[in-house]
Amino acid sequence: MSSSSSPVPDPERVSELSENLTRIRSRVQDLSRDKPRTLVAVSKYKPASDVLACHQNENGQLDFGENYVQELVEKAAQLPLEIRWHFIGTLQSNKAKTLAAIPNLHTIQTLTSIKAATALNKALPTTRTFPLNILIQVNTSGELSKSGLPPLSSSEDNTQDEELTKLASFIIKKCPKLRLQGLMTIGALEQSMDHEHENKDFERLSQTKEELESWLRSSESDVGKDSWGSDGRLLLSMGMSSDYEEALEAGSDIVRVGTGIFGSRRMK
């Protein structure tokens, strides 16, 4: 992939992507209930021409998600600057510099450490006119294969000592180039395949959000109410192709849909 060649989508693929995108956007719209929701189109392993087709579509898709730093760097270099890139992969602090150099990097959805927050805040160029949005990844299912910090529970009174609370407070107080916007989770596959019952991971993320919001609003946290979130609320990013509808019903603000838009992916 060279950064000078511009990606040209072929007409059949354009109409296929357009159909998928229109169908999913209208489901998101139907389930939105007047609350603004964001559909992130997850384009990992898919060519830049697919992204361009969705962006130039009548829907003008703006938000795209990528999991791998190098793939994101290459696509971002070939595609329009209006695109809002979301990094949704495992974040290593030694990659912070490479990510921070992408001018239209909009959100990091997978922050889990003070080390990575520090590296990002340091690496972001001062020429950037808007802060980099941050979601902290929470491991709601507790699976060892998933990254993320442990969720908060309402029965405990040591909220200030939790890793999640400490990271949130560090971002707000020590990282002026970052803005803490909310929380993200993937959740267990069994929960996302079970369409009969409430998704426990979505419930856990919502509860964690409430706990963190109330802590941030308390005098204990020592942060202003305008220094985090969006209109005094933290956002939730949960829901993928198999469960974005349930996620929207459970109050998700951001859904991340790959397969449903782009079709299945080859395995890595």
Ligand X SMILES: *Cc1c(COP(=O)(O)O)cnc(C)c1O
Say if CB 198 and CB 251 are below 8 A apart.
no
Show the beta-strand stretches assigned E in the chain.
Answer: 38-42, 63-66, 84-87, 105-111, 132-137, 178-184, 235-237, 254-257
Query: Binding of ligand X at residue 257 (CB under 6 A)?
Result: yes
Using the rule CB under 6 A, is 90 a contact of ligand X? no
Type of residue at 124: L
Beta bridge partner(s), residue 199:
none
Angle between helices 163-174 and 200-217 (to 10 degrees): 50
Which is closer to ligand X, CB of 132 or CB of 240?
240
Interface with ligand X, residue 258, by CB under 6 A: yes
Q: Which two tokens stand for residue 173?
A: 């107080």
Q: Which of residues 37-56 bind ligand X (CB under 6 A)?
A: 42, 44
Check binding of 256 to ligand X (CB under 6 A). Answer: yes
Interface pick for ligand X out of 240, 248, 250, 254 (rule CB under 6 A): 240
Radius of gyration of the chain (CA): 18
241 contributes a contact to ligand X by CB under 6 A = yes
Instruction: Please report how close the Cβ of residue 103 comes to ligand X at its closest, in angstroms.
Output: 23
Task: Decide whether 53 or 184 has the Cβ nearer to ligand X.
Answer: 184
The residues facing 184 across adjacent strands are 137, 237
Stretch that binds ligand X, among 28-36, 155-163, 174-182, 254-262 (CB under 6 A): 254-262
Tell me which of 48, 72, 73, 186 binds ligand X, using CB under 6 A: 186
User: Would you say 15 or 259 has its CB closer to ligand X?
Assistant: 259
Which ranges in 102-258 belong to alpha helices (H)? Answer: 114-123, 163-174, 189-193, 200-217, 244-249
The least distance separating ligand X from the CB of residue 225, rounded to whole angstroms, comes to 29
Which residue number, 88 or 136, has a Cβ lying nearer to ligand X? 88
Q: Does 23 bind ligand X (CB under 6 A)?
A: no
Task: Report the Cα 129 to chain-centroid distance in Å.
Answer: 20
List of residues contacting ligand X (CB under 6 A): 42, 44, 67, 88, 186, 240-242, 256-260
